[in-house]
Amino acid sequence: MLDLPVADGAWAGAASLYSIIHLTPSERATACDEFARVIRPGGWLLVAFHVDSPEFPAGAVNPLTSWYGQHVDLDGYFLDPGDVTAQLLASGFTLKARLEREPIDGAEYPSRRCYLLAQR
């Protein structure tokens, strides 16, 4: 997401589902710029991310050291929807839809989630 190996305007759209949560704020801005570069005018971007959870407020980072029994060194950021929207707008996208939802009990990590649909 930080240096996509495709030409400018090569894509009609992209989906970034729970991947920007592993980027620092400056890396997220770079990713938004890269999405804007590779998505042609009129194209679409769908972004999904964790907002908060009982353990972590928006803006917090969860440093993971174990995942499914494996050792990892991975940060997971809980993101404020307004901050992500601002990054998308700064990169030239227009927000078309925003959905926030509660977690599905017993089926997924207990975090509120946000989905942003933006157009280039």
3-state helix, strand, coil in the chain (%, to 5): 20, 45, 35
Residues 30-78 have pLDDT tens digits of: 999 999 999 999 999 999 999 999 999 999 999 999 988 999 999 999 9
Amino acid at 1: M
At residue 67, the pLDDT reads 84
Given a cut of 90, whether residue 15 has pLDDT beyond it is yes
Question: pTM for this one?
Answer: 0.94
Residues 89-108 have pLDDT tens digits of: 999 999 999 999 999 999 99
Assigned token pair, 39: 């998505």
CA 76 to chain centre: 11
CATH class of 11-50+80-119: alpha beta
DSSP string, 78-97: ---HHHHHHHHHHTT-EEEE
